[in-house]
Amino acid sequence: MNALDDNLASRDPSTVLAGAWDALDLGARVADAITWEETSDELLALTAAQECSAARALLPLPGTGRPVPLEASEIQAGPGGLAPYAGLLERTYRALAGLAEQDVQLSEAAEHAAAAARSLAAVRGQ
Amino acid sequence: MATLDELFDAAGARLRTAAGTPSSDRSASARDLDLFLSALTEPLDLRDGLGTEDVPRSPVTNDLVYHLRRASDALRSAQRLLPSPGGGPAEGNLPEASAAVHAVRDVIESHRGPDRVPLSAYAYALTTGPAHHYLTRRCAELAWGATQVASALARDSLDPSAAAAFGDVHRFLSEASVFGREGTRDADAAIGALSLTLPVAPVQARSTDRTRDVPANLAEDCDRLSRAAFETLHHRSDHRMSGSDLQQLARWTAIQRLLAGRVLLRAAEELPDEAAAALRDSAGALRGSAQAWQKSATAWHRIVDIADPRSHPKLPPPSYEIVRRGEVVRLPQVVPHPATVIAHTAAVRVGQLLYGPEWRPETATRPEPRAGSEVLADARGTGALASALYRLPAAGWQLALAAPQAVSLARGGLVTDVFEQQAPGRENHRFRPVNPYQLEALSHPYKAVLPAEQASAASLLEVAGQAGVSVPRALLDAAAHRTLAAGQGWGQARKAVRSGQSGFQAQQPQVRARQRPRSL
C-alpha cells in the first residue's frame, strides 16, 4: 500500500493514474470481502465496491506493475480496520481531483472515488 | 402501462356507457359502432406468427370474424337508411372503445419487429392456440357489449327498416359472442397480463419522482431489463455489454435486492405477527439473491475488458503541461450499456420508496427510513408491494440467464493480470488474454443466481397470495421463462402458481467453504 501512496503522490500523471487504478482495485476487493460480515452495513459495502469499480472503469489500464496482494486476514476487525483502505481511497480522490481540472471523465472518476471512500469509512459504523 | 386485460376491460366499460346513454345522433353512432367492429377484428388477425411460420387460425376465431363481418354489413345497410351524420358534438364512448381495442393490437405488435422477429420473450407466448383463444374470447365479450349498443339504436330508431337493420346487427353480434365464448374455454388467461414492451433505453430516476409512482416505474424498468436480457440472448443489440457493464449490473442488482429486503422489513413492523413473518422470509430470500449477484460481480476482480472504451490502454492521460495550456486530451467517451443504467435507476427507485425521493446510493449515509405505514400506503398495501417487488427477481432471472452469453460475446476483449506463469520476455506486460478456465469462472456464478432469484420470486408471490392479491404477471413470466430456458427449472413455477402454493424448487447457491486464507 505504501507503493500505491508513492504512485499517487508522483509528479507523472500516468504513474498517478496507475496508482489510482490499483488503489480502486484494492478498495473494491476489500469492500467485497467484508460485505456480508455481521458488523457490516451491506448496502454501504456494496456501494463502496460499486463506486470503486465505476471509478476504475474510467481510468486507463496500467501497463505494468502487479496487483496489490490482499489476504482476508489482513483486514483488521472493528471500525478502525477499514480506515487504512478508506484513507487510501480518500487520497486517490485527491490525486484524481488534482489531475481532473478540465477533464470531465477524470473528475467523474474522482467523484466516484470520493463516494467509495465515504461509503467504505461508514461500513462498520462510527 | 396498461395490460391487455385492462384495455379490454376499458373497452367493455365504454360500450356499457354507450348502450346506457340515448344517442342524440344515431347516424354518427352507427358509424362509430361500425368503426369499432372493424377495430375488433384487428386483434383477431393472428395468421402471422413469428418469423416465416404461419399459425393457422382456429375455426372458432374464424367464426367470430365471420359473424363480425356480417354485423358490419348489416350496420352499413342501417347507415344507408339514416340521414348523414350531423355536425353536433360527437359522443366519445364508442371512439374510446375503438381506441382501447387499437391499443390491444399495439401491445401485441410491440412484441415483434417488422419482419415478425420476436422482440421479447413474451412474443412466443402469443403464438399458442390458447393465447389466440384468449384474444378471441375477450373480443367475443366485447361483441356482446356491442349488441347492447345495437339494441339501444334499434329501440330508438323511428324508421322501421333502420330498426330492422339494427336488429340484424344485434342478432349477428349475439351469435358472434355466443360462439366466440363457447369455443374458447381453453383460453390462456395469463396473456391478459401482457403489456407494451419498452425499448432498452437508459432511463434515470429523478428526485422529483413521486414515491407512489415507484411500483409503476419499477415495472417499466424491469420490462426494459428483461428486453435487454432477451436482446443479449438473441444477439439483437449492437451495443454489447462490456466487462465493466456486467460487473456494475450485478452490483446494482444486488443493491436493489438488499433495498427491497429492507423495504419489506420496514413494512413488516406495521403488520401482525404472521404476515410480518412472511415478509421477513421474503427479505431473507432477497438477501440470498443479493449475495448471489454480488458473487458474480466479484468474479470480475482480476479481469478487465480492454474493448471496453472505459479502460482503453492506448490513450495517453492528460499531462500537466497540456492541462495548463488548456489543450485537454479527452479520454474515451463513456457509453455504459442501457441495462447498467436501468439497473442503477431501479436501485434508486427502491431506495426512494424506503428513504424518500432525495435518496441516492452515493451519499453514503445511513438515513432514517420512512415509516412503514408510508411505504405501505405508497405501494397500496402489502400484496401490491410484494407484487411490485416480484418484478425485480423475475427480470433478474432473465438477466442471469443471458449473462453467460454476454460474457461469451465480450470474450475477445477480456484480459487478466492473474496467470500461473509469466511468459519469458513478457514481464513488462501486465495483462494478457483470459484462458478458458477464467472465462468459465466468470459465467459460473450466474448459475447460482437463477435458483436464488426463483426463491425470491416465489417468496414474494406467497406474500402477495397471503394478502389476497393475485399476480397474473407471474403466469405470463412462467410461460416466457419456460420458452427461454426450456427446462432450466422455472417450468415448475407455472403449476405452482396455478395451484396457489409455492413450488419453486429453490436450491440455495452452494457456498464452498475454504479453509486456507482467501486471496482476494
Summarize pLDDT for B4-17 with one digit per residue, the tens: 999 999 999 999 99
Same domain, B445 and B352: yes
**pLDDT beyond 60 at B114:** yes
Q: Given this model, what pLDDT does residue B427 score?
A: 61
Residues on chain B touching A66 (C-beta within 8 angstroms): 417, 430
Q: Decide if B40 is inside a domain.
A: yes
Q: Given this model, what pLDDT does residue B48 score?
A: 56
A-B interface: how many C-beta pairs under 8 angstroms?
A: 144
Q: Decide if B426 is inside a domain.
A: no
Same domain, B164 and B260: no
Task: Name the residue of chain B whose CA is nearest to A106's CA.
Answer: B331
Same domain, B80 and B156: yes
Contact between chains at A32 and B294 (C-beta distance less than 8 A): yes
Same domain, B142 and B220: no
Q: Given this model, what pLDDT does residue B511 score?
A: 37
How close does chain A come to B504, measured CA to CA in Å? 26
Residues on chain B touching A53 (C-beta within 8 angstroms): 244, 247-248, 251, 297, 300
Determine the Cα angle at B446 with ends B411 and B341, to 5°.
75
B:335-394 residues touching chain A, CB 8 A cutoff: 361-366
Q: Is B492 exposed, middle or buried (0-12, 13-18, 19+ CB in 10 A)?
A: middle
Mutate which: B241, B246, B251, B431, vs A, most A CBs within 10 A = B251
Same domain, B261 and B187: no
**pLDDT beyond 90 at B305:** no
User: What Å distances lie between residue B192 and B131, B290, B510, CA to CA?
Assistant: 9, 31, 37
- Assign B91 to helix, strand or coil: coil
How close does chain B come to A80, measured CA to CA in Å? 17
DSSP notation for B250-317: HHHHHHHHHHHHHHHHHHHTTS-HHHHHHHHHHHHHHHHHHHHHHHHHHTTTTEEESSSGGG-SSSPP
C-alpha cell at B262: 429492507
Binned at pLDDT 50, 70 and 90, residue A65 comes out as: confident
pTM confidence score:
0.86
Same domain, B118 and B180: yes
Q: What ipTM was predicted for this assembly?
A: 0.95
Ramachandran class of B21: left when φ > 0, alpha when ψ lies in -120 to 50, beta otherwise: beta
Q: How far apart are CA B352 and CA A2, in angstroms?
A: 40
- Average pLDDT value over all residues in chain B: 84
Same domain, B241 and B107: no
How close does chain A come to B216, measured CA to CA in Å? 24
Q: How far apart are CA B73 and CA B68, in angstroms?
A: 9
Residues on chain B touching A118 (C-beta within 8 angstroms): 363-364
Task: Name the residue of chain A whose CA is nearest to B318's CA.
Answer: A13
Q: How far apart are CA B349 and CA B163, in angstroms?
A: 57
Binned at pLDDT 50, 70 and 90, residue B51 comes out as: low
Domain termination residue (choose one: B193, B222, B241): B193
Q: Given this model, what pLDDT does residue B170 score?
A: 93
Looking at the partner chain, which of B255, B328, B518 has a beta carbon nearest the beta carbon of A43? B255
Q: Given this model, what pLDDT does residue B479 score?
A: 84
- Domain range enclosing B484: 211-301+338-417+435-498
Q: Decide if B124 is inside a domain.
A: yes
- Sign of the CA dihedral with B225 first, then B246, A56, and B288 last: positive
pLDDT tens digit string along B151-205? 988 887 778 888 899 999 999 999 999 988 888 889 988 999 999 999 899 999 9
- Domain range enclosing A42: 2-122
Q: Given this model, what pLDDT does residue B514 score?
A: 39
Same domain, B284 and B167: no
Ramachandran class of A77: left when φ > 0, alpha when ψ lies in -120 to 50, beta otherwise: beta
**pLDDT beyond 90 at B395:** yes
Residues A28 and A70 sit within 8 Å (Cβ to Cβ): no
Q: Is A126 exposed, middle or buried (0-12, 13-18, 19+ CB in 10 A)?
A: exposed
Mean pLDDT calculated for residue range B91-96: 89
Q: Decide if B165 is inside a domain.
A: yes
Same domain, B77 and B18: yes
Q: Decide if B203 is inside a domain.
A: no
| Residue B519 touches partner A, C-beta closer than 8 Å | yes
The values of phi and psi at residue B15, to 5°, are -65, -40
Q: Decide if B200 is inside a domain.
A: no
**pLDDT beyond 50 at B491:** no
| Residue B516 touches partner A, C-beta closer than 8 Å | no
Q: Could you tell me which of B80, B68, B60 has the C-alpha nearest to residue B145?
A: B68
Q: Decide if B198 is inside a domain.
A: no
| Residue A64 touches partner B, C-beta closer than 8 Å | yes
Looking at the partner chain, which of A30, A57, A122 has a beta carbon nearest the beta carbon of B366? A122
Same domain, B216 and B189: no
**pLDDT beyond 90 at B21:** no
What DSSP designation does B53 have? -
| Residue B459 touches partner A, C-beta closer than 8 Å | no
How many separate domains does chain B show?
A: 2
C-alpha cell at B105: 393490437
Q: Given this model, what pLDDT does residue A102 score?
A: 63
First to last CA, chain A: 24
Of residues A58 and B306, the one with the higher pLDDT is: A58
Binned at pLDDT 50, 70 and 90, residue B91 comes out as: confident
Q: How far apart are CA B241 and CA B345, in angstroms?
A: 17
| Residue A35 touches partner B, C-beta closer than 8 Å | yes
Q: Decide if B21 is inside a domain.
A: yes
Same domain, B148 and B220: no
Q: Given this model, what pLDDT does residue B501 score?
A: 37
In angstroms, how far is CA B252 from the centroid of its own chain? 19
Q: Could you tell me what percentage of chain B is helix, strand and coil, using 3-state DSSP and rounding each to the nearest 5?
A: 65, 5, 35
**pLDDT beyond 90 at A77:** no
Same domain, B89 and B236: no
Residues B69 and B143 sit within 8 Å (Cβ to Cβ): no
Residues on chain A touching B254 (C-beta within 8 angstroms): 46
How many separate domains does chain A show?
A: 1
